[in-house]
Amino acid sequence: MFESLTEKIEKVIKNIKGEGRITESNISDIIRDVRLALLEADVNYKVVKEFTDNVKEKALGEEVKSSLKPAELFLKILKDELLIILGNEDNSLVLNRKPSVIMLVGLQGSGKTTTVAKLGNLLKKKENKKVMFIAADTYRPAAIDQLITLGKELDIYVYNENTNPVLIVENGIKYAKENNYDVIIIDTAGRLHIDEVLMQELNNIINVSNPNEILLVIDAMIGQDAINVINGFNDKLKLTGTILTKMDSNTKGGVALSVKHLTNIPIKYVGNSEKIDGLTLFDKERMVSRILGDGDILSIIEKAEEAIDKDEAEKVAKKLQKGNMDLDDFLSQLKQIKRMGPLENILKMLPGASKLGLNNISVDPKQISKIEAIISSMTLKERKDPDIIKASRKIRIADGSGTKVEDVNKLLKQFEQMKQMLKMFKNGNLKLPF
């Protein structure tokens, strides 16, 4: 998300570096470039106008005119104004009773049922909550089956009945109370458009469930029409927040900058992958950092903490310090990195990713699987001492892994280069670039 916007903002900052100071004469061109970048990123034109007007006013302000270098000053102003647009409210869920009830609503195709599962998984794993789902979307038969399947995968109970949605919810809440559940997440029906029948049913569900949270699940790919959808639902239901799905597929991402400012409805979560753990708490500081090209190191650390075995990592770290890492260690690290998700997504979170060309890197999962297959086809002795792998062994390993001898040679060469680099770090001949 935000790839195109980040690239354009970085170009603007680069152009400012050529200026001695920000003046009335050069600010107009700078602001025009920012305006175009935001509009192309699908940010609502009202938000763009207010944002750029405020940035221009502050950039020319007497108090800050000479306090920083032009690029540093402009970057600071951009960051401050972006944070204002995204709001100052606490966007955490209100779970102040047992069981707490979260009701998810949305149009058909927004990813609502999948988001129920993702949110349940997050609350179960990170908040240690005993979660139950209620399948109240009786209009789309596949929705109930889908939720039951996802519930089994997550070991989360799905309450469902062959009756009307309001009664399903009413009975489901009674069941949750009797069985000591912490959180109930209700999956409701969607439509292709907002209509009175849908809204009446949702209001009836609200009356029997008294939800802590009413969250609108909305597809970020619909762009500026998201504002109309949010306002349409909020007029009838009084939403407590939104969940933006498919943010990973939306390189523009402008809807995230428009939603809060125009609707006053906070963004609670964003969907950033199709995987079951692809839902994260909305963090405006991290989002602004990514927009401005500063990366998202905190998210990388969180992913690493979830995916990487601490004891195993420490064991490999000690081997690295001694300079005697082997192919078994390499394979172990590769498997742990895979659990963090697609490698290109991790690379895009690094500071300055677009400048380094990392935004356009595509890592074929098949290549990683090929490396795993090659190492797995080696004997324990070969993994510990790759130097013994000569021609006949290479042929056997290639045959066993379904690859070619050239692939085996390539892996061994890369591993040797990595070992040499690690030795140079160990001997102090190379210094880390940070």
Find the radius of gyration of the CA atoms of the chain: 26
Answer for the pair 269, 281: CB distance below 8 angstroms, yes or no.
yes
Task: Judge: domain 300-426, CATH 1.10.260.30.
Answer: yes
Average pLDDT (203-222) is 92
Q: Which tens digits make up the pLDDT trace of 285-326? A: 877 877 776 544 555 555 555 555 666 666 655 665 565 678
Is the pLDDT at 353 greater than 70, yes or no?
A: no
Question: Cα–Cα distances in Å, from 323 out to 43, 298, 389?
Answer: 50, 28, 20
Q: What is the pLDDT of residue 431?
A: 44
Q: Which tens digits make up the pLDDT trace of 140-174? A: 878 999 999 999 999 999 999 989 999 999 999 99
Q: What is the pLDDT of residue 433?
A: 39
pTM over 0.85: no
Domain chopping of the chain, boundaries = 3-86, 100-294, 300-426
Q: Which region, left, alpha or beta, applies to residue 264 given φ > 0 means left and ψ of -120 to 50 means alpha?
A: left
Percentage of the chain exceeding pLDDT 90: 32
User: For residue 252, what pLDDT band results from cuts at 50, 70 and 90?
Assistant: low
Answer for the pair 240, 104: CB distance below 8 angstroms, yes or no.
no
Pick the CATH number of 3-86 from 3.30.43.10, 1.20.120.140, 3.30.70.20, 2.40.110.10: 1.20.120.140
Is the pLDDT at 352 greater than 70, yes or no?
A: no
Answer for the pair 118, 276: CB distance below 8 angstroms, yes or no.
yes
Answer for the pair 264, 237: CB distance below 8 angstroms, yes or no.
no
The structure tokens listed for 378 are 């080696």
Average pLDDT (397-403) is 92
Burial of 124 (0-12, 13-18, 19+ CB in 10 A): middle
Average pLDDT (93-112) is 92
Q: Tokens 């070969």, residue?
A: 382
What is the rounded average pLDDT for all residues in the chain?
81
Answer for the pair 106, 269: CB distance below 8 angstroms, yes or no.
no
Q: Which fold has domain 100-294?
A: Rossmann fold (3.40.50)
Answer for the pair 292, 75: CB distance below 8 angstroms, yes or no.
yes
Answer for the pair 133, 116: CB distance below 8 angstroms, yes or no.
yes
The amino acid that residue 129 corresponds to is K
Gap between the Cα atoms of 82 and 325, Å rounded:
45
> What phi and psi, each to the nearest 5 degrees, are found at residue 215?
-110, 130
Q: Tokens 């966007």, residue?
A: 91
Going by the DSSP 8-state scheme, the letter that residue 358 receives in this structure is G
Whether the CA torsion 113, 269, 239, 79 is positive or negative: it is negative
Residue partners of 240: CB distance under 8 A and separation at least 6: 94, 212, 213, 214, 215, 265, 266, 268
User: For residue 358, what pLDDT band results from cuts at 50, 70 and 90?
Assistant: very low
Gap between the Cα atoms of 142 and 135, Å rounded:
11
The structure tokens listed for 256 are 């995230």
Strands (E), 124-173: 131-135, 157-159
Gap between the Cα atoms of 104 and 101, Å rounded:
10
Average pLDDT (102-129) is 93
Is the pLDDT at 100 greater than 90, yes or no?
A: yes
Burial of 334 (0-12, 13-18, 19+ CB in 10 A): middle
Gap between the Cα atoms of 285 and 224, Å rounded:
22
Percentage of the chain exceeding pLDDT 70: 77
Strands 157-159, 100-105: parallel, antiparallel or unpaired by DSSP? Answer: unpaired
Could you please report the per-residue DSSP string of 336-361? HHHTT--HHHHHHTSTTTTTTTGGG-
User: For residue 430, what pLDDT band results from cuts at 50, 70 and 90?
Assistant: very low
Instruction: Please choose, from the candidates 188, 128, 135, the residue with its C-alpha nearest in 3D space to the C-alpha of residue 157.
Output: 135
